[in-house]
Amino acid sequence: MNPAGRSALQEELTALARGDRAAFDPLFQRLWPLLRGFARRSLSAEEADDAAQEALIRIFRRASEFDPARDALAWALGVAAWQVRTHRTRARRRRGEVAGGLPEREDPAGSPEEVAAAGELAAALERALAELPRDDAAILLAYARGERPDLPGATFRKRVERALGRLRARWRIRHDPL
Amino acid sequence: MTLSEISETNLRLAARRAYEVGRLQGALWRGALAALFALPGFLMCSGTLLAGFCLGGFALVVVAGRVRGAAYEEGARAGAVAGVAPCLLPAVASTLDPNLCAALVAGVPWPCALGGLVAGAILGLRGRAAGGLPFWATALAALGFAAALGCIPAGAMGFSGLLFGVIAGGAPALVVRRAMG
């Protein structure tokens, strides 16, 4: 970020901390590409977008507590770095789970509300799966059933992660997780 | 509108929501802290329904000022700081002289006048940084509620003393401020 942009970021975050809502839009426009670019240096594109979104929400939630004496860029990137680290840890755990097989399932019997909610969720998931490329859907269904196609373990894991990323992106567009 | 634009709009809304929620949370903490500070003024001499209303009003002004931000927040902060003296002076004095609360009702309400003097000076000086109606409205509301907690036992005489003190303390500070440009 150039010195002018850095100075503008400082001014906008300081103004927002004071409660000046007019600074919200320019700050959003400045922060979002910055955080996304920062996260993409360390994570895959889908993971980076998730991490950047969470960092952005966290920054705006804490914007009122921002101390104008601090450097706004360093503060924002500090929050983003924490989020990136969290995502990397989560991704490592997921990879471990994929390598270790499916987790044990709980007793499926539940209350009528739970059954209805599960039915709606399953239908929504089915619609999202139908929108995915056929290979992605097949690999996810195989993973969900605990089947292992005739592929090397690392390749299978990568394909599952890629397909999950695409599924997550479509789910986000349709169901607004924010 | 493209899909990326839709998701960016959703993100913008979520960010705005997060900002407002964060601001409200911070405001509630400050309001609770302000009420805690003013509590001795409420407990020592007042303790009436009207005093409870003033305590709640004081906390509410602090919360609303913080949520709204800018000049409103500066005004609420200045009013709260200025209100410390008239709110707590009677409480502090009554710990030294337990009969003071009763004396306040009967005699000259000097704690209210003295507290008002300090409050007026503080408000006059802090008003230098920010002016305008939002600042003065929230500052006077916060000061009024906080100071009322200390002056309720003295009744109308107490409020007259408080008003006299605020004017006597604030007017010179404002004159000096104007003279300095």
The tens digit of pLDDT for each residue in A18-59 reads: 999 999 999 999 999 999 998 888 888 888 888 899 999 999
- Least Cα separation, residue A15 to chain B (angstroms): 8
| Cβ pairs A/B, distance under 8 A | 59
DSSP A66-111: --TTS-HHHHHHHHHHHHHHHHHHHHHHHHHHHHT-PPPPPP----
- The structure tokens 């399953």 sit at A122
- Least Cα separation, residue A135 to chain B (angstroms): 23
Q: Test A20 with B69 for CB contact under 8 angstroms.
A: yes
- What pLDDT sits at residue A102? 54
Per-residue confidence band for B59, with pLDDT thresholds at 50, 70 and 90: very high
Share of chain B above pLDDT 70, in %: 86
Task: Give phi and psi for B57, each to the nearest 5.
Answer: -65, -40
Which of B3, B16, B22 is closest, CB to CB, to A62? Answer: B22
Of the candidates B69, B92, B73, B70, the residue with the CA atom closest to the CA atom of residue B81: B73
State pTM to two decimals.
0.67
DSSP letter assigned to residue A152: -
DSSP letter assigned to residue B42: I
Amino acid identity of residue A160, one-letter, is V
Q: How far apart are the first and last CA of chain A?
A: 28
For B78-136, how does the pLDDT look when each residue is reduced to its tens digit (9 = 90+)?
Answer: 889 888 888 887 777 777 776 666 665 566 677 788 888 888 888 887 775 556 888 88
Amino acid identity of residue A166, one-letter, is R
Amino acid identity of residue A17, one-letter, is A
Instruction: Give SS3 for A17.
Output: helix
Assess B24–A contact: CB distance below 8 Å, yes or no. Answer: no
- Least Cα separation, residue A63 to chain B (angstroms): 7
Which pair of tokens denotes residue A19?
């409660």
Q: Which residues of A touch B7 (CB under 8 A)?
A: 172-173
Q: ipTM higher than 0.95?
A: no
